[in-house]
Amino acid sequence: MPKKTYHIITFGCQMNVHDSHWLAGVLTKRGFAQAPAESAGVILLNTCSVREKPEQKVLSALGRIRQITGGSSDVLVGVLGCVAQQLGDALFEKSSQVRLIVGTDGLAGAPQAIEDLLLNPRQRLSLLDFTRHYVEREDGETSSPVPSAHVTIMQGCDNFCTYCIVPFTRGRQKSRTTEAILGECRTVLGRGTREITLLGQNVNAFGQDKSGDGTTFSQLLGRVASLPGLARLRYVTPHPKDMGEGDIRDFARLPQLCPRLHLPLQSGSDQVLSRMRRGYTRSDFLTLVDRLRKARPDLALSTDLIVGFPGESEEDFEDTLNTMRECAFMSSFSFCYSDRPGARASLYPDKVPSPVAQERLLRLQSLQEDLASRWLQGRVGQETRLLIEHPSPKQECASSTSWQGRDPYGTPVHVHLPPQKDHTGCMVDATITLAKKHSLMAVCPGTP
């Protein structure tokens, strides 16, 4: 029987990172040990279909696994996530080592499937059915407390933006019940977590589906914010078209809600936004930003941007740059458009040539660097409160006591703290002294 050791390779978004973390926790609780890919008995590939060439990435990862394991049939390989959902049982034909295929709604059943397959080396299993409701998962947290935790509130999406295949790979929107979410939040807070990030593809639409229990997103936020022990609350990802009055007011009424919002713009051109089927115009977006900033004057925004969407003209692109300037995004994720088979935009004929899109991406990223640098410089001299996460990765010397924490904006901040104490999970007051390229330095009162 293959060894009860596992190795997880994760591609893609925060949801995938969270799913892999959960799976690792459950396998550990079931007696598995983590191991390098070279010696693991079970290798799991958690896949993503959002970035470019997802299928090729999975196939080349399967090739690498075959190489490092010598193609051994003693190694159980499982493919999970969006690409598994898309390709389905065809993945069995891609590598004889693949004996488990788990789609996005099948994850809850993956740990038991792995155990069953280890006992039955001739068997193969696929868990690909979409479910009508969110399937609750067994507790995957290990005993070690983490200062910051993610809690999933929903799965899937009903929006069908024309460049995206999430509604096909993760299925239609399914909200968790409020009680299940609150239960998980209480559990992580009970273990010492101070900050919770609520996760979903379109969090503002929480509860507005067949699985919803009538609770709105704003009501859910209020209930999570009032849980004892919670210091900070965040969420990702909101949708500009679904952010209602209540969601805006929450930034004024809930002190636990951090003054940072990742609000995907995608494009600043009305023509492009309409062809993306985003459901808002540039002016709607700017009005929303204005209302959010009135509710929370210290709010910082980050965003997602797609460059070179089919039909994007130079003028459309300039609209995006101008919108970025008006919103003064502190950071952004940006990439060139590429076709996703199955998504509507892949059928649009007027593709932007790759060199043009690449050149625009460089200009956009250069503008973002300026905006980010200005935002970070503007923080110097400000007082803030840090949630300490771990010792700084780069210690200046052996006796250094530099720790890394995050401020309410989620920026990494390095600070010296008294020696001989584990500061993980502590909240400390600090003053920002220096801005680096992607992080900040700070001092605490009374600490050199």
User: Measured from the CB atom, is 16 or 411 closer to ligand SF4?
Assistant: 16
User: Measured from the CB atom, is 117 or 161 closer to ligand SF4?
Assistant: 161
Residue 100 near residue 59 (C-beta atoms within 8 A): no
User: Measured from the CB atom, is 202 or 368 closer to ligand SF4?
Assistant: 202
User: Measured from the CB atom, is 166 or 430 closer to ligand SF4?
Assistant: 166
User: Measured from the CB atom, is 99 or 239 closer to ligand SF4?
Assistant: 239
* Least separation in angstroms between CB 130 and ligand SF4: 15
User: Measured from the CB atom, is 126 or 320 closer to ligand SF4?
Assistant: 320
* Least separation in angstroms between CB 341 and ligand SF4: 15
Residue 192 near residue 227 (C-beta atoms within 8 A): no
* Least separation in angstroms between CB 343 and ligand SF4: 9
**Nearest-angstrom CA–CA distance, 146 and 148:** 5
* Least separation in angstroms between CB 434 and ligand SF4: 36
Q: Which two tokens stand for residue 341?
A: 């088979």
User: Measured from the CB atom, is 285 or 403 closer to ligand SF4?
Assistant: 285
Contacts of 91 (CB under 8 A, 6+ apart): 58, 79, 84, 98, 101
* Least separation in angstroms between CB 176 and ligand SF4: 17
* Least separation in angstroms between CB 177 and ligand SF4: 21
* Least separation in angstroms between CB 173 and ligand SF4: 9
* Least separation in angstroms between CB 49 and ligand SF4: 11
**Nearest-angstrom CA–CA distance, 361 and 356:** 9
User: Measured from the CB atom, is 174 or 414 closer to ligand SF4?
Assistant: 174
- Rounded (5°) CA angle 111-18-20: 40
User: Measured from the CB atom, is 49 or 384 closer to ligand SF4?
Assistant: 49
Distance linking the first and last C-alpha atoms of the chain:
56
* Least separation in angstroms between CB 202 and ligand SF4: 5
Give the CA distances from residue 374 to residues 141, 265, 330, 369, 379, in Å, rounded to whole numbers and listed in that order: 39, 20, 8, 8, 9
Enumerate binding residues for ligand SF4 (CB under 6 A).
157, 159-161, 164, 166-167, 201-202, 239
